Amino acid sequence: MSKALDNQSTLKKVTLFSITWPIFIEVFLQTFLNISDIFMLSFISDDAVAAIGVVNQIMMFTFVLFNFTAMGSGVVVAQFYGAWKLKDVSITIANALVLNLLFGIVISAAVVIFRHPFLNMFNLAPDLMEYANIYIC
């Protein structure tokens, strides 16, 4: 019982900022990566920037798919941790890592294999296709 009371007093000290700062940093770094790519490519040509803008849309979609599995497993881990089922927490984390690894391999392979149909969905001009093809692989 005292263990539960200690945890309640610890939980009251947790702030919203302390919970959300890792998410902020992740989103900031993803955005900064896209901005830096476009900035560096702007020295090559405007066509390269346009092509990479299209490829970034495809990549953002894949990030959403990865976040979908990560958020779902995070909810389950939080529920198990709150119920003090620590063995289930470690099993869920291991399963989430394996699932995300397999999911990542499948999604990456699909993007590389079907890159031309994906790029054609955005009506990418043929002269921009070369830049996009290099960047997506």
Q: How far apart are alpha carbons 4 and 8 in whole angstroms?
A: 6
- pLDDT, average across residues 69-97: 91
Q: Tokens at residue 85, please? A: 């089922």
Q: How far apart are alpha carbons 80 and 73 in whole angstroms?
A: 11
Q: Does the structure show a pLDDT above 70 at 12?
A: no
Domain that holds residue 118: 2-136
Q: Does the structure show a pLDDT above 60 at 123?
A: yes
Predicted pLDDT at 94: 94
Confidence category of residue 89, pLDDT binned at 50, 70, 90: very high
Q: Does the structure show a pLDDT above 80 at 11?
A: no
Q: Does the structure show a pLDDT above 70 at 15?
A: yes
* Interaxial angle between packed helices 46-82 and 16-41, expressed in degrees from 0 to 180 and rounded to the nearest 10: 160
Predicted pLDDT at 26: 85
| Total domains in the fold of the chain | 1
| 42 membership: H or E segment, kind and range | none
- pLDDT, average across residues 53-64: 86
- Name the more confident of 124 and 25: 25
- pLDDT, average across residues 93-114: 92
Our measurement of the distance from residue 65's CA atom to the centroid of its chain's CA atoms, rounded to an integer in Å, reads 7
- Name the more confident of 10 and 103: 103
Q: Where are the strands (E) in 28-109, listed by range?
A: none
Count of alpha carbons within 13 angstroms of residue 131, beta-carbon side? 22
